[in-house]
Every structure is written in C-alpha cells, then in structure tokens.
Amino acid sequence: MAKNKSAVAEKPTTVAKKYMKPSEIATFGIGLFGVALLTGWMPDYTMTFFADFAFKGKGFDSTQLAHIIPIVFGVAGIVGALCELIIGVLVDRTRTPLGKVKPWVGFGAIPLAIISMLVFVAPNTSSFTLATIWMFVIYALYTAVSCAVESPSNCFGALCSPNPSERSTAISIASFLRSVGQSGGQVVIIVVPLIMKALMGQQQYKNAEGQGLDLIISTAVCALGMVIFVMIFFANNKERVPYTSENVSLKESVKLVFTNKNLLMVSLTKLFGFGRGVYGTVSLYIAV
C-alpha cells in the first residue's frame, strides 16, 4: 500500500502548454487600452460638444437643442445594438491568414480615428434641421464604426490561446488595461488645456476653449494614441484557436441573445446606456 502511495506521489503532473509570450499578453492589453482610450472618451464629450460648442452663435434655441441631443444618443444606442449583432456574424464568417478578429481591429483603427475627429467638425449652418440631421448621421456612423473595432478587439481573448488558463490570464490583464483606458481621456482633457495655456496665454486659451478647441485637440490625442496602441497589438499578437465549420445566422444570434440571460444582461446594459463601467463589469463577471 505504501509502495502504491509512493508511486502516485512520484507521478509527474501535467502542465498545460503555454502559447503566448509575456509580450503578447502585454500588447493585447495595450491594444484594448488604446481602443478604450478613444471610445471611453467620446460619448460624454460629444454630448458636451453638440450642446455647447458645435452650433454656438448660430441662433439655435438651447432648449430645443437640449431636447434633441438625448434622442440622437438614443438612436445611436439602437444602431450600436444592431451593429453588435451584425458585426458579430461578420466576424464569425471572416477567414483570413491574419485571423477572424485582427483584420477588423487593425484595419478599422484609422477609419475609427477619422470618424471620431469628424464628429467634432460641425457644419457651418444656421439651419436647425440640417444641424439635427448632421448630429444623427455623424454620431450613428461613429457608433457603427466603433462597434466594428471595439467588439472584435474584446473578442480576441477567446482566440489568443488554446490554453484556458492562459486565456483567462490574458483577458484579466487586458480587461484591467481597458478599464484604465476608459478613464484615460479624463487625464488627456486635464493635460491638454494646461499645455494650451502655457503656449497660448490665458486670454487666447479662453477664446479657444470657448470654441471647444480643447475638446478637438484632446480627441485628436486620444485618436492618435488609439492608432499607435492598436498597431502595437496588431504587429505582435496572433490568433491560435482554429476555425470551426459552424455557421451562425443573424436570426440564430438574435434568438440566442434573448434566450441567454447573461448575454441579455450585457446587451441591455449597453443598449440603455447604464454606463461603460457597468457594461464592462458585467461582461467581465460573465466571462470569469
């Protein structure tokens, strides 16, 4: 009996194979940080820009403008929810040498940066109707493009390694860096005005601030940072989980959302704008 116990004790334990280099885990997180640096910044400051700066001096009724802006964001939320489903199906059907997710993130980064900057370039018009149409179109377009980059980037953790333990570690680190990135814009909006004041002087800075120039420059900094960080991720990471032959239709995807309580919880928090922190926390909780 003692001999059998000794034999069991001496039996070597199986160690799961490691696929990712430490640098890959780090750059995966850096990529998510970069995406969140821009997308975490945009909603609040876009609303501020639309309400206070985009059509300043055009004679628009501020009350009427204040009523239309929440509708713009509500419609954009519906567009985003639909895009999540559509892009999910398209990503699932993507077959490239680079993988399923990487092409969406890598090739979508620059268009996302451009669209984000266009959000802060309002038309020079005194027509409230034209201004309203522009707000609906530009922010819905931003929402669609951001979904095409952000959602696939969040899916990369499922494809980075066949080792579940390694995937869990990579996702945990990347999720933490993504959360940090969501607050990165708050730091940028503090630093950019300080630099502007130092370079322009107090009076010129006040004039620039009154036109929302600090918001535009801050967005440009976040957009540039997003592109750089995503390219670091794109160059250093690869997908290792093989494709499956299963084809999932959009109808099946919609049905799954409404029959799976976890997916429905995430979808509802994002659709109704309960806050990026809540959405991220719920998503991470379900993943863990």
Encode pLDDT of 77-95 as tens digits. Answer: 899 888 888 888 888 888 8
In this prediction the pTM is 0.80
User: How high does pLDDT run on average in the chain?
Assistant: 85
Look at residue 165 and tell me if it is in a domain. Answer: yes
Quote the Cα angle for 29-35-40, to 5°: 115
Look at residue 33 and tell me if it is in a domain. Answer: yes
Look at residue 201 and tell me if it is in a domain. Answer: yes
The pLDDT confidence band at residue 276, using thresholds 50, 70 and 90, is low
Q: From CA 37, how far away is CA 45, in angstroms rounded? A: 13
Look at residue 250 and tell me if it is in a domain. Answer: no
Dmax (CA) for the chain in angstroms is 93
Q: Which ranges in 201-275 belong to alpha helices (H)? A: 202-210, 213-236, 250-259, 261-271
The pLDDT confidence band at residue 13, using thresholds 50, 70 and 90, is very low
Look at residue 21 and tell me if it is in a domain. Answer: no
Q: What tens digit of pLDDT does each residue of 169-186 get?
A: 999 999 999 989 988 888
Per the document, the length of the chain is: 288
pLDDT at 278: 53
CB 75 within 8 A of CB 234: no
The pLDDT confidence band at residue 108, using thresholds 50, 70 and 90, is very high
CB 285 within 8 A of CB 96: no
Q: From CA 116, how far away is CA 96, in angstroms rounded? A: 27
Q: From CA 199, how far away is CA 204, in angstroms rounded? A: 9
Domain residue limits at 216? 28-239+260-287
Look at residue 13 and tell me if it is in a domain. Answer: no
* Tokens of residue 94, six digits: 């993507």
Look at residue 248 and tell me if it is in a domain. Answer: no
Give the chain's domain count.
Answer: 1
Quote the Cα angle for 282-283-286, to 5°: 85
Q: Residue with structure tokens 């799976």?
A: 260
Minimum mean pLDDT range among 16-25, 179-188, 269-278: 269-278
* Tokens of residue 202, six digits: 């107090």
Q: What average pLDDT does range 206-234 have in this prediction?
A: 91
Look at residue 2 and tell me if it is in a domain. Answer: no
| CATH of residue 100 | 1.20.1250
